[in-house]
C-alpha cells in the first residue's frame, strides 16, 4: 500500500500540488482525472520522484519517507524500485531492439542474469500481443505497438505500481484500442495501475477508484461508482464535458 500525506510541490510561486493526501491500495486500478494543468502529471511524476515534493510524507507499506527531511540515495532508489512510469510518448531507446529495450532495466538496474531477463521479456511481449517483435527497432513499430513495448518494459521491472500518464493520448483511436485492451487485461489480473487519462469510457470501465484533482487539490477520492453518481456540481460538469 502507498499512502501520501500532505504532499506539496511548488514550481516558483505556483503550488502545483497543494497538500495531497490519499491511499493507493495494491491490486486496484486508480484513475486520476482532472482538468488540464491541475497537477495530474506532477502527482504521477512525484510518485517515482521524477519530481521531488518539498513537503509531505510517503508511507510505502510500513516504511516512511519524509520529503521535508530530504531523502537519502538509498531511500530514493527504494521508492523508484516500486514504481515504473509509462509516458505518453513511449520513450523507448531508439538504438536498441524491442527485446533489448525490455531487458535493459532488469539486467542493468536489477542485475538479473541476461537469459532470465530475455526469457521473461519474450513472455511479456507475448502478453502484450507482440511475440514476433523482439528483434524489431522502435522506428519499425506503430505508436500502439511502441506503447505496448513500453508497458512490457515497465512490467519487466516487476514494480508494485505502474504509473501511466495519458498512455494513449498520442495514438489514433484504433491504436488506442489495442493499448487499452492490454491495460484492461492487466487490471483484471490485479496488477496495480495508476492511470491518468481523458478517456472517460475507459476510466468508467477500468477504474476501481477515482482521484479527481483540480488546482493541486483532491476534489474527489473514492470508489468509481460513487464518482460517476456524484451530485457534486463541479464533477458532474467535468464528466459531461468529457463524454
Contacts of 115 (CB under 8 A, 6+ apart): none
Bridge partner residues of 165 (DSSP)? 196
Q: Which of 31, 47, 113, 30 is nearest to 82 (CA)?
A: 47
- Taking the least distance from each CB to ligand ADP, the nearer of 20 and 152 is 20
- Residue 113 and residue 107: Cα distance in Å, rounded? 6
Which of Mg ion, ligand ADP, none binds 39 (CB below 5-8 Å, type-dependent)?
A: ligand ADP
Q: Which of residues 2-31 bind ligand ADP (CB under 6 A)?
A: 11, 16
- Taking the least distance from each CB to ligand ADP, the nearer of 51 and 205 is 51
- Residue 134 and residue 97: Cα distance in Å, rounded? 7
Q: Is 105 in the site for ligand ADP (CB under 6 A)?
A: no
- Among the listed residues 8, 29, 30, 41, the single contact to Mg ion using CB under 5 A: 41
In the complex, the smallest distance separating the C-beta of residue 54 from ligand ADP, rounded to whole angstroms, is 13
Q: Is 93 in the site for ligand ADP (CB under 6 A)?
A: no
Are 31 and 210 spatial neighbours (Cβ–Cβ below 8 Å)? Answer: yes
Residue 88 phi/psi, 5-degree rounding, is: -60, -35
In the complex, the smallest distance separating the C-beta of residue 204 from Mg ion, rounded to whole angstroms, is 20
Q: Is 41 in the site for ligand ADP (CB under 6 A)?
A: yes
Q: Is 38 in the site for ligand ADP (CB under 6 A)?
A: yes
Q: Is 169 in the site for ligand ADP (CB under 6 A)?
A: no
- Taking the least distance from each CB to ligand ADP, the nearer of 37 and 222 is 37
Which of Mg ion, ligand ADP, none binds 42 (CB below 5-8 Å, type-dependent)?
A: ligand ADP
Q: In what order do the strands lie in the sheet with 29-33?
A: 83-86, 161-165, 192-196, 29-33, 209-214, 217-223
Amino acid at each position: 500500500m502507498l499512502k501520501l500525506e500532505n504532499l506539496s510541490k511548488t514550481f516558483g510561486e505556483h503550488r502545483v500540488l497543494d497538500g495531497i493526501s490519499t491511499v493507493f491500495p495494491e491490486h486496484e486500478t486508480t484513475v486520476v482525472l482532472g482538468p488540464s494543468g491541475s497537477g495530474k502529471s506532477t502527482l504521477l511524476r512525484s510518485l517515482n520522484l521524477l519530481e521531488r515534493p518539498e513537503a509531505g510524507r510517503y508511507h510505502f507499506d510500513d516504511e516512511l519517507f519524509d520529503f521535508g527531511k530530504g531523502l537519502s540515495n538509498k531511500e530514493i532508489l527504494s521508492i523508484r524500485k516500486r514504481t515504473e512510469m509509462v509516458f505518453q510518448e513511449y520513450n523507448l531507446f531508439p538504438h536498441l531492439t524491442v527485446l533489448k529495450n525490455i531487458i535493459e532495466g532488469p539486467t542493468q538496474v536489477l542485475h538479473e542474469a541476461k537469459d532470465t531477463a530475455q526469457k521473461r521479456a519474450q513472455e511479456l511481449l507475448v502478453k502484450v500481443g507482440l511475440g514476433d517483435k523482439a528483434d524489431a527497432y522502435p522506428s519499425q513499430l506503430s505508436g500502439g505497438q511502441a506503447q505496448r513495448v513500453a508497458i512490457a518494459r515497465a512490467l519487466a521491472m516487476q514494480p508494485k505500481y505502474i504509473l501511466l500518464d495519458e498512455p494513449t493520448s498520442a495514438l489514433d483511436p484504433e491504436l488506442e484500442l489495442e493499448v487499452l485492451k492490454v491495460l484492461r487485461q492487466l487490471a483484471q489480473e490485479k496488477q496495480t495501475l495508476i492511470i491518468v487519462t481523458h478517456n472517460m469510457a475507459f476510466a468508467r470501465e477500468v477504474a476501481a477508484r477515482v482521484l479527481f484533482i483540480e488546482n493541486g487539490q483532491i476534489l474527489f477520492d473514492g470508489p468509481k461508482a460513487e464518482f460517476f453518481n456524484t451530485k457534486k456540481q463541479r464533477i458532474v460538469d467535468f464528466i459531461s464535458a468529457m463524454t
